[in-house]
Structure 1
């Protein structure tokens, strides 16, 4: 029997997903993977390739067949623990049945904090770009099919990373390690080719940064999107560690 633990983090954008990937990368028993379904998403989404930075590089260097990506995830046993950082919207219409064989984590963030950050890279995002509705759809899928899952809230992680990561490791049935709380401020070889557009802050970090509320006024042009996202976030937070 394959004893490899395959952890799938299903995140929205402009979250702390890369920091969590870096945390797991500190473990000697773990190999991390950065958004392996990104090229599949860009190839098959009707519009995303028009506004995501670095599209050509991503499509030319990554597997665009989502089913092949999933099979590679399930057959890979390079380390006892594999950590796959995913964006929920990258799933598109892939068959979710593979999730029965993975450890499922949903990562969310208050849209009041997230939307202005995302808008600085991709302007005028839609509800499909930011993942909140898709997270609830995924959560309902887990519940319907009796697939264990947990939810992380970025703010709670940043406020007490040791406490929340300890709970997360308990959920994954692995030992928490103190070295998950810090890393060298640099790029990692596992970083996606898109890191130069998105990862500046985490490359400067040496651990989870202290949570700070936004001190800039919330952009008016995002108010309608915030109204769409907030009810989904309010539901997700009920499940958070």
Structure 2
């Protein structure tokens, strides 16, 4: 049977550039945030492109789309856990039929990056809490700790991080998938505003070493978001390979 891999993320977690590696591999049919189509439509305030691209709009139909694709090819889908948190938490069958990978990023960096694109973002859209809830549910269902990637590891040690992920997923590591031509994959067009950096990239780039949190601490609204989501990040971060050789 063909495989299905789910990359569960929160916004601004470097998940899109990791998805790009799977697009470049060429051995998976890749879906970019399919569950976002149940969370948003053309009238939503969030910045978006054309959301009338023929994608289904409800949870069961999106799940059926992924399962149907699996009949013809291996499937990789990346999504934000908060897009579908309630039905996903209640759907043990769907969670257990795929390999679930999680990616996290320090909420200070993620929040400021998110705010730069969508200043009206609601608290739940920071996404760490929903991500942790799905992580915990997968752990409960499988009896095993799901695989967690820290975005800073991906940025600073991309080959190492991808090799370890491929070992975990029992995939061949493809060095050529870590470089590409700067372009916008078809899958990204509905959310192109969010992925300009990834679109203009040709590989996984290291993060800025001179990150300044001052603008976060100066904004009480953003600090409230940070204080809400930081504990969930810390709980998941203890399960990453951060610091390992």
Both proteins in one fold, TM over 0.5? yes
CA deviations on 1:153-175 (whole Å, 9 max, x unpaired) are 10011110111111111111111
1:211 pairs with one of 187, 207, 210: 207
What secondary structure does 1:58 align onto? Answer: coil
What secondary structure does 1:120 align onto? Answer: helix
Partner of 2:106 in structure 1? 110
Q: Would you say the 8 A contact 1:100–1:147 is kept in 2? A: no
Structure 1 residues 207, 60: closer, same or farther in 2, change over 3 A? closer
Shift in Å at residue 190 of structure 1? 2.2
Shift in Å at residue 131 of structure 1? 0.9
1:168 pairs with one of 156, 165, 168: 165
Structure 1 residues 229, 15: closer, same or farther in 2, change over 3 A? same
TM-score (norm 1): 0.89
Q: Does 1:139 align with 2:117?
A: no
Partner of 2:23 in structure 1? 25
2:57 pairs with one of 43, 48, 64: 64
Q: Does 1:202 align with 2:198?
A: yes
Structure 1 residues 153, 143: closer, same or farther in 2, change over 3 A? same
Q: Which runs of 4+ in 1 moved over 4 A?
A: none
What is the CA–CA distance in structure 1 between the aligned matches of 2:187 and 2:119, rounded to whole Å? 27
- How well do the aligned residues superpose, as a CA RMSD in angstroms? 2.0
Partner of 2:33 in structure 1? 35
- Unpaired segments ≥5 residues, structure 2: none
Partner of 1:86 in structure 2? 79
Structure 1 residues 75, 207: closer, same or farther in 2, change over 3 A? same
Structure 1 residues 78, 202: closer, same or farther in 2, change over 3 A? farther
- Unpaired segments ≥5 residues, structure 1: none
Structure 1 residues 159, 230: closer, same or farther in 2, change over 3 A? same
Question: How many equivalent pairs are there?
Answer: 233
After alignment, is 116-125 or 228-237 more displaced? Answer: 116-125
What is the CA–CA distance in structure 1 between the aligned matches of 2:65 and 2:178, rounded to whole Å? 29
What secondary structure does 1:76 align onto? Answer: helix
CA deviations on 1:46-74 (whole Å, 9 max, x unpaired) are xx95421237x315642102101112212
Partner of 1:226 in structure 2? 226
What secondary structure does 2:25 align onto? Answer: coil
Shift in Å at residue 145 of structure 1? 0.9
Structure 1 residues 79, 215: closer, same or farther in 2, change over 3 A? farther
